[in-house]
Amino acid sequence: MMSVRWLLRIARPEVWRLVAAAVLGSLALGCSIGLMATSGWLISRAAQQPPVLYLTVAIVAVRAFGIGRGALRYAERLVGHDAAFRVLARTRVQAWIDLDRAAPAGLGKLRSGDVLANLVGDVEAVQDLLVRAVLPIAVAVITGTATVVLLGALLPAAGLVLLIGLLVAGLAAPAITLSVAGRAERRLAPARAALTDPVHELLTGAADLIAYGAAGPALDRIAGHDRKLTSLARRSAAGAGVGAAVGATALALTVVGELLVGVQAVRAGQLPGVQLAVLALTPLAAFELTNSLPAAAQHLVRGLRAVDRLRALEELPQPSVAWGNKDVIGHTLKIAGADARWPGASHPTLQDISLRLDPGRRIAVVGESGAGKSTLIATLAGFLATEQGLVTYGGRPLTELDENAFRRQVVVCAQDDHLFDTTIRNNLLVGRPDATDAELMSALHQARLGAWVDRQPRGLDTTVGERADQLSGGERQRLALARALLADPAVLLLDEPTAHLDEPTAAELTRDILAATRGRATLLVTHRLADLDDLDEVIVLTHGKVQRRGHPADVLQPTPTN
């Protein structure tokens, strides 16, 4: 029921388009049935060689039904798919909003394959739910009811036979399909997500896997998931085949039944002989509405499960700050007596943390992996709300500030900042879309990457490749730093910018960072203790607590031994 309510909420703006599509589809199918019934009567009556005037109405009706069937079917497809695509767009935007609201801290349990399945597979399943399940079922109910009533008016027994046949084909066949393929349908989406994840890992890490000779096991793992998915798809197809067989059998028996009751009615004088063909041929067209119902049942179940997964995105933990709407009035970033915990963690990752980052002040936070350094960055950036204590900017709690205004002032440069598979120019413009080429080059020179760009034949139009694999590790970090500097933030938060770099490169990059951030409020998170003498303060974190803090000369000097 919750899934249906969610779907109705998403599809509400397109209700009238969907209703129009159902009406047009019913009229198109009605034309098909009318064409078959009228043609049967026309052939039977023409065999009696009456004056042609007696056949004129039927001839015109056949033409009208034939033309109307094509025109109405086209209109139904046009309106129905227009509504479905509108709902698809709204669903995908809503899924993105839900993921964005939970990111980054609330997505810890989701694999990249799960997220991709949500944004692509599940959203498209909702589209199929409308076009291939809801609309066919609605058309079948409307047209089937009308056909049974009309045939029943012609001969009550014939209407009853058609009703039984349609119920068997429209209810029993889908039920049998789901009973045969139901278990496979329940496991299809998780199996697709399980296949997507290793494929994504293989594509992004192919070079490393090949270099270490691990590509074979990775391919074997993918092949195993693919075999499982193929097996499930085969079972699902088998269920659809069984349903189609039941529908075909029901059609054949219905035609035989119509002939039996029709012949008896003709013998009893209850039905003119020319109308016997109408009874026999009408089911052939009427059962068109049930042919798609076994597949519609599968799409219905598959779509509702996709809705369940999309609805679950709304229930993801949202550990980020609940933002307000006030503007920024100052530029001091402060955290006082704060505890912070990642979703699902048994204990706080940060405990009783306090620091003050005034304009122009530069602080380094050092510590081993797991000390809480990245958690501190996430907390200061508003990605992770505090359990106790307070984070303020310009004297106002983050919960009172407008998020966009805050993001324009405080920029995070993470160790794994994403660089898009495009040009250096386009990657930089993410930081400030209206920047000129001169401003781009200025930011690159501040990050000590300008000379390298000048040497490239295409300059700013040099492509960086997927995951920036055309750049060295140091160049990637410098490009990310240049993008952050281009945004001209009041506060710059740098999370492990020298991670994964060799010592000479890390030392050089650290010195360049300190030179580029002079005069700007900067928090540098690093595991390196060297090259920090130019900073105002160094804080040493251990297990989420401040172990030492003070001027670099005092904190970083060797501990005397007796």
Whether residue 522 sits in one domain with residue 472: yes
Q: Are 162 and 258 in contact (CB under 8 A)?
A: yes
Whether residue 301 sits in one domain with residue 448: no
Question: Is 561 within a domain?
Answer: no
Residue among 312, 314, 311, 395 at smallest CA distance from 358:
395
Whether residue 300 sits in one domain with residue 167: yes
Question: Is 167 within a domain?
Answer: yes
Question: Is 324 within a domain?
Answer: no
* 448 SS3 class: coil
Question: Is 327 within a domain?
Answer: no
In this structure, the dihedral spanned by the alpha carbons of residues 553, 558, 559 and 562, taken in order and rounded to 10 degrees, is -130
Whether residue 244 sits in one domain with residue 105: yes
Two structure tokens written together for 24: 């047009």
Listing DSSP states for 375-417 in one string gives HHHHHHTTSS-EEEEEEEETTEEGGGB-HHHHHHHEEEE-TT-
pTM greater than the 0.85 cutoff:
no
Whether residue 277 sits in one domain with residue 412: no
The tens-digit pLDDT sequence of the chain (562 residues) is 677 888 888 889 999 999 999 999 999 999 999 999 999 999 998 988 888 888 899 899 999 999 999 999 999 999 999 999 999 999 998 888 888 877 776 776 666 666 766 777 788 888 889 999 999 999 999 999 999 999 999 999 999 999 999 999 988 888 887 777 666 767 776 787 778 778 877 877 787 788 888 888 888 888 988 888 888 888 878 777 888 888 899 999 999 999 999 999 999 989 998 899 999 999 999 998 888 888 888 888 888 888 888 888 888 777 778 889 999 988 999 999 999 988 877 888 899 999 999 999 999 999 888 888 889 998 999 988 898 999 999 999 999 999 999 999 999 998 888 899 999 999 999 999 999 999 999 999 988 889 999 999 999 999 998 778 888 888 888 899 899 999 999 999 998 888 777 788 788 888 888 888 888 999 999 888 888 888 899 999 998 899 889 988 888 766 554 4
Q: Do you find a cis peptide bond into 190, omega within 30 degrees of 0?
A: no
The Cα–Cα gap between 84 and 130 comes to: 6
Residue among 296, 246, 307, 305 at smallest CA distance from 138:
296
Question: Is 440 within a domain?
Answer: yes
CATH number at residue 238: 1.20.1560.10
Cβ atoms within 10 A of the Cβ of 248, count?
14
Cβ atoms within 10 A of the Cβ of 330, count?
15
The Cα–Cα gap between 70 and 27 comes to: 11
Q: Which helix (DSSP H) or strand (DSSP E) does residue 494 occupy?
A: strand 491-495
Question: Is 401 within a domain?
Answer: yes
Q: Are 375 and 414 in contact (CB under 8 A)?
A: no
364 bridge partner residues: 524, 538
Question: Is 398 within a domain?
Answer: yes
Q: Considering its fold, how many domains does the chain have in total? A: 2
Question: Is 429 within a domain?
Answer: yes
Residue among 138, 183, 173 at smallest CA distance from 301:
183
Whether residue 344 sits in one domain with residue 309: no
pLDDT the model gives residue 63: 94
Domain that holds residue 202: 2-313
